[in-house]
Amino acid sequence: MYGTEYFRQFMEKENFPAESRTPLSEAFAKLVAAKDCAPLLCAAEDALFGGKEWQEAIAPPLKEAAERTGIHPYTVDLLFLIAASERLRADYRAAGIDEAIFWDSMADILYKLRECREVYGVWGTFVAWWYPWFYTKKRFALGRLQFEAVPFEGSAPVTVGGHTVNPGDTVYNLHIPSAGPLTKASRLDAYRRAYDFYKRADGEWLCFVCESWLLFPAYREILPAGSNVVSFMDDFCIYAAETHKFYDDWRVFGKDFEKPAEDLPEDTSMRRAFKKYILAGGEAGSGLGLFFYNGKEFIK
């Protein structure tokens, strides 16, 4: 059903860590050779490309494949996503989408592989539910950031600099993968790429939106003024914020995220800042931001 040559090519193209390639290749060979696993993988793939919900339709056959083979479920999920990407590559070609965008989008699998290894010590992914929109061509990596066209979910209109976005209007939601420094140059490049990808006419104003812990206003006070995170905040009009549990603690503290606050690592400036903030009783949260962009100018 699935060939090892494409699997090898994928790992090479996406620059998988050298130490991950042999165990992943061995696990892949075991998975595709396992008796009665082929129908499970086919069922999962059809559900994935059919736009089905991950937990309801895709996860069950993959869980069964993991149980039958003894391969860690996180690894099975990742192996499946790599194998299924060969079909997605053909879909990109049929849709006339630049293949470079395909490989940039699939690099997210590498980022999740590294996160899973750091947090849980497993070569795999623990957020496989994140992927259906990639495989149905709704989410794309365009430079450093990822984008998707969605209806604006705000409960009321938001006006910035004379431009208004209303509930239900099409906006361009962005995500920040763990792909290295979030520099201003890389962000501007991504915004420009996204504008060129989605625009209908030159000079058209597009509304870009983001909901992220990186936009929580209180964090501005604990991070250095020149940090990339603060600079990222400055890209947006942050029109709303909410406090909640620190769901993104694993992004900051990696494998140590479940340790008591006093035992959290302090080996980076961000970790030191967040540890101090947590120990002082600071609240966690996320912010909602937007800006308008016409390919040259920003209104925020």
Domain ranges of the chain: 4-135, 139-244+284-299
Strands 206-212 and 170-175: parallel
Strand, helix or coil at 211? strand
Give the pair of three-digit tokens for residue 50.
């059919």
Spatial contact of 18 and 28, defined as CB atoms under 8 Å apart = no
What is the residue whose two structure tokens read 């299924």? 84
Residue 98 to residues 140, 141, 147, 159, 295: CA-CA distances in angstroms? 11, 12, 15, 34, 20
| pLDDT tens per residue across span 129-147 | 999 999 999 999 999 999 9
Q: How confident is the model at residue 69 (pLDDT cuts 50, 70, 90)?
A: very high
Q: How confident is the model at residue 161 (pLDDT cuts 50, 70, 90)?
A: very high
| pLDDT tens per residue across span 176-203 | 999 999 999 999 999 999 999 999 999 9
Say yes or no to pLDDT of 156 above 90: yes
Percent of the chain with pLDDT over 70: 100
Q: How confident is the model at residue 35 (pLDDT cuts 50, 70, 90)?
A: confident
**Predicted local confidence at residue 1, as pLDDT:** 65
**Predicted local confidence at residue 105, as pLDDT:** 98
Domain made up of 139-244+284-299: CATH architecture:
3-Layer(aba) Sandwich (3.40)
Which residues, including other chains, have CB under 8 Å from residue 82's CB and lie 6 or more apart? 7, 10, 11, 28, 109
Q: Note if the pTM is more than 0.85.
A: yes
287 class by beta-carbon count within 10 Å (0-12 exposed, 13-18 middle, 19+ buried): buried
Instruction: Identify the helix (H) or strand (E) that includes residue 89.
Output: helix 73-95
271 class by beta-carbon count within 10 Å (0-12 exposed, 13-18 middle, 19+ buried): middle
- Calculate the CA dihedral of residues 175, 144, 53, 40 and round it to 10 degrees: -150
**In the predicted model, what is the mean pLDDT of residues 243-265?**
94
Spatial contact of 14 and 78, defined as CB atoms under 8 Å apart = no
Q: How confident is the model at residue 224 (pLDDT cuts 50, 70, 90)?
A: confident
